[in-house]
Amino acid sequence: MIDPKTRIGHVHLTVSDLDRALRFYRDVLGFEVTTTYGRDAVFLAAGGYHHHIGLNTWAGRGAPQPAPGTTGLYHFAILYPDRRALATALQRVLEAGVPLEGAADHGVSEAIYLRDPDGNGVELYRDRPASEWPRAPDGTLAMRTEPLDLQDLLREA
């Protein structure tokens, strides 16, 4: 069994246009550039960490997006520390005109789904405190997928 303290903390993406990807991850989502490798790669982070997201064009400069329904990355998730931070991220995404693919209340978390400029799925979410997680009568976790009230969320921004 995997250690319960295990976390996934990095994602590296091949992109077709580094400047376009930077406008999304830096300017819309708000990550800070920590390192660049010429015109081919850039690393971004939150909170002074060395990097959470690596973007590179090593294998895909100018490449088209993969066709829907093919193998590859479905999405990766960015965990926000609280509801206010998630609301602020949603506000920035909407102000930038980035379309949403969905938004869900899973009982244990609230999630917003969208795509980056290269078609990679991105989930922006926050976890609820474990004390608020829905439970079945036998005590097992009872996750769900219900619509997320975006207007209510935006009031937190």
Structure tokens of 86? 């998630």
Q: How confident is the model at residue 132 (pLDDT cuts 50, 70, 90)?
A: very high
| pTM confidence score | 0.90
Evaluate whether 55 touches 127 at the Cβ level (below 8 Å). Answer: no
For the cut 70, the answer to whether the pLDDT of residue 10 exceeds it is: yes
Strand pairing class (121-127; 146-147): unpaired
The model's pLDDT over 29-62, given as tens digits with 9 standing for 90+, comes to 999 999 999 999 999 999 888 888 999 999 878 8
The model's pLDDT over 14-35, given as tens digits with 9 standing for 90+, comes to 999 999 999 999 999 999 999 9
Portions of the chain given CATH number 3.10.180.10: 9-62, 74-157
74-157: what fold? 2,3-Dihydroxybiphenyl 1,2-Dioxygenase; domain 1 (3.10.180)
The model's pLDDT over 85-110, given as tens digits with 9 standing for 90+, comes to 999 999 999 999 999 999 999 999 99
Per-residue burial over 91-129, b = 16 or more CB atoms within 10 Å of its CB, e = otherwise: ebbbeeebeeeebbbbbbbbbbbbbbbbebebbbbbbee
Class in CATH terms, 9-62: alpha beta
Helix (H) or strand (E) holding 103: strand 100-105
Residue 71: per-residue pLDDT: 75
For the cut 70, the answer to whether the pLDDT of residue 8 exceeds it is: no
